[in-house]
A and B are shown apart, each in its own frame.
Chain A
Amino acid sequence: MKKNLPLTIAFIMGWLGILLDYIPHKVSEVLMTSITKGLMVTIAIVAFLGLYSLLNMHWIKIKRKNAGWGYSLLVFAGFFFMLIFGLYNQGDLFWKAQVEQGMVEWIYTYIFTPCQETMFSILAFFIASAAYRTFRAKSMEAGILLVAAVLVMFGVVPISGKIWSGFPEIAQWLLEYPNMAVKRAIFFGIALGVVSMSLRIIFGIERSYMGGEG
């Protein structure tokens, strides 16, 4: 039962998902909408488990004084500040829609968003360091990659066209032909891989998501 029930559900839902794509009728749409709603309800319920997991993990860190436990305090502080301001809602309380330009929005705009942007901006430095490592022409393939990358990078900046009109054209050609050909080859492989893996799961041949062999 423990094994057969999930396999049966996977079989039914898998075929349903495939067949509904070929049935444009309203009945099919209604069924798909119901499935999606069911999924959303599941996500909403499980969200509480996620929250519990997050707070529990940080609580354990604080309790055990693990490395970096001070950051875990910040998680609790952030959570409770947002919760209190969200519930208080500038005096309108939580049964009304969130007040615009209230504290929740202020924290989101002036604390949360800059933190996110900071993380994103680090990417620029990481790209530079990764590119430096990759572009060392140690082999024939790395050499070709280096030349192609330099041509593409140079070809897409405005000054390249002013030096020689061929640079942007070469960059465009590299993007539209060799790059596109490889991209499509990978996409074909992915599409077939998805079909193959889906069939393995639908027919119960692939069971590793249940932790077992097969």
Chain B
Amino acid sequence: MKAIFLCVLWLTTFQVWGEVFPPDDVSAIDKPNDNGSAIILLWKKMDYETAKIFYVTYIATSPSGPFLVQPIQSSIINFKTDLPQSFGFAEDNKNWHALEITDYLLAGGEKKDMIEQNKTYYLRIGVKEGKDGNVVMHPKTFGVTPHGNYFAFNKLNNFLLFIFLTVVIIVFINLAKKNPNLFVRRIAGLEAMDDALGRATEMGRPVLFVHGLKYMHEVPTIAAVNILGRIAKKVAEFDTGLKVANWDPVIQQVSRETVKESYIEAGRPDAYKEENIYFASSEQFSYAAAVEGLMVREKPAANFYFGYFYAESLLLSETGNAAGSIQIAGTDAFTQIPFFITTCDYTLIGEELYAASAYLSREPKLLGSLKGQDLGKLMIIIVLVLGTIFTTFGWEGFSKIFWPM
């Protein structure tokens, strides 16, 4: 008791005199869940911290120095709470400073060096009052060696959610094999696809397919190519012309192969015309101009827009509308959905783009995956409702389980 009293008296006395003392509980750690390119200096928040208190850190690659001075840090910044991906959401985080170091100033203060993995760094910390005050150093040096991690534990919630969804979808795919009569709600846009192709056949005009402005390795384009495969097969069966205007040569080559295989599958390899799947332009508005030109000249009977679109969506669909084509669009580009709804006869919104291929095939296995997706959606709804209730009553812990980090 006496010791505590003396200690408090000592601290208070120093504060009254305007002196500062170094922080307690200092440590240096390798930043968790990273590639080994960062270290973190931790120290406990001091009771006397104000906006006038500054911390100075020093770094060296040898325990004997030279220690290189780093930019001073205000005591009101750099807390564990700023790094939830490393320290989570513990209540005590606000009482700890955490300075993440990814690079450091070299002698002279102009050039910087990056923190390297498997190399030991030595850190020191001091404190001063005011920017021009005298630095009071912590007596110890703290060594740390950063290492790369093989699993990002901060993404564990995401990983478990992914595993859960994967299992659910696979289970439903297997269930669909046993019970093929699964109910999937009607999607008007996809039901109308046959009508649109039939119209094109009757009118003797081509069908135009556009797959947005994303690259081949991006999911909306993969979904679009899947749909193209289905459409191409029907086009081949109906003996109608198919034009595919591409903005990217890779997509063009993939589309050619997809359409060619579909024509072979339909037993009409002779009807396949390679030049109809062509590269128009890699520039957004040049591409739009090329496709609009095609619409005005050849007046396709049906236009299909599937994929991710930007400002060209309205240019294309409004021109198609003026040309009198039946238009079916599907996009997950939130900002372009209103434009397609306005100008197209049918629009697939968001996830419907990804369900289209499965829906068109009527394959039980593919429809099963849609059912699994629905269960995932139900789970999200339950989590949202519970999260809203718990947060309303002041317990944020539940929503933080699902926090993206």
Interface residues of A (CB under 8 A from B): 18, 21-29, 39, 42-43, 46-51, 53-54, 56-57, 60, 67-68, 71, 115-116, 119-120, 122-123, 126-127, 129-131, 133-134, 183, 186-190, 192-201, 203, 205-206, 208-214
Contacts and interface: CB of A to CB of B under 8 A. Distances in A.
Given A190-B350, A208-B226, A68 B318 contact: no
Contact of B285 (A119, A133, A189): A119
The dominant DSSP class at the B interface is helix
Contacts of A200: 358, 366, 369
B36 interface: yes
Contacts, number: 218
Nearest to A121: B285
Interface string B248-286: 111011100111111111000000000100111111111
A189 B351 contact: yes
Given A27-B148, A126-B315, 11 more contacts: A25-B148, A67-B298, A129-B318, A134-B342, A183-B334, A190-B354, A196-B354, A196-B355, A208-B225, A208-B229, A210-B258
Q: How large is the interface on B (under 10, 10 to 19, 20 to 34, 35 or more residues)?
A: 35 or more
A187 B28 CA distance: 40
A189 B377 contact: yes
A144 to B, nearest CB: 14
A189 B318 contact: no
A53 B246 CA distance: 10
B289 interface: yes
B179 interface: no
A186 B249 contact: no
A200 to B, nearest CB: 5
A213 B234 CA distance: 12
Nearest to B340: A130
Given A49-B249, A119-B315, A211-B232, A193 B354 contact: yes
CB-based closest 6 A-B pairs: A211-B261, A50-B249, A193-B354, A193-B351, A189-B351, A119-B285
Given A22-B151, A134-B342, A206 B226 contact: yes
A174 to B, nearest CB: 14
B219 A197 contact: yes
A28 B337 CA distance: 37
Interface in B269-320: 275, 278-286, 288-289, 293, 297-298, 311, 314-315, 318
A73 B74 CA distance: 66
A116 B281 CA distance: 12
Contacts of A126: 314-315, 318
B84 interface: no
16 contacts: A26-B148, A39-B217, A49-B249, A49-B252, A57-B275, A67-B298, A115-B286, A123-B315, A130-B343, A134-B338, A193-B352, A200-B369, A203-B173, A208-B230, A211-B257, A211-B262
Interface string B132-151: 00000000000000001111
Interface of A is mostly: helix
B350 A210 contact: no
A119 B341 CA distance: 22
B152 A68 contact: no
A206 B315 contact: no
Interface stretch (B11-19, B75-83, B161-169, B196-204): B161-169
Contacts of A209: 222, 225-226, 229, 254, 258
Nearest to B371: A196
Contacts of A129: 318
Given A26-B36, A195-B169, A199-B170, A116 B286 contact: yes
A198 B376 CA distance: 15
A198 B219 contact: yes
B349 interface: yes
B261 A46 contact: no
Contacts of A205: 173, 365-366, 369
Contacts of A192: 165, 351, 373, 376-377, 380
A119 B223 contact: no
A211 B279 contact: no
Contact of B159 (A22, A48, A54, A201): A22
Interface in B223-251: 223, 225-227, 229-230, 232-233, 246, 248-250
B363 A123 contact: no
B330 to A, nearest CB: 11
A212 B260 CA distance: 10
| Of listed A48, A213, A214, residue having the most chain B CB within 10 A | A213
Interface in B334-393: 334, 337-339, 341-343, 349-355, 357-358, 361, 363, 365-366, 369-370, 372-373, 376-377, 380
